[in-house]
Amino acid sequence: MGRSVIGLCGGFGSVVGGYMPVLWGASSFSMMSFLFGAIGAIVGIWAGIRIAEL
Region 23-38 average pLDDT: 92
Q: Which pTM was predicted? A: 0.88
Is 48:8 a contact under the CB 8 Å cutoff?
A: yes
Q: Taking the CB of residue 18, how many other CB atoms lie within 10 A of it? A: 22
Q: CB–CB of 37/14 below 8 Å? A: yes
pLDDT of residue 7: 96
**Number of domains the chain is built from:** 1
pLDDT, position 26: 85
Asked if pLDDT for residue 10 goes beyond 90, the answer is: yes
Q: What is the pLDDT, as a whole number, of residue 14?
A: 97
| CA 47 – CA 40 distance, rounded (Å) | 10
pLDDT exceeds cutoff 80 at 1 = no
Per-residue pLDDT band for 25 (boundaries 50, 70, 90) equals confident
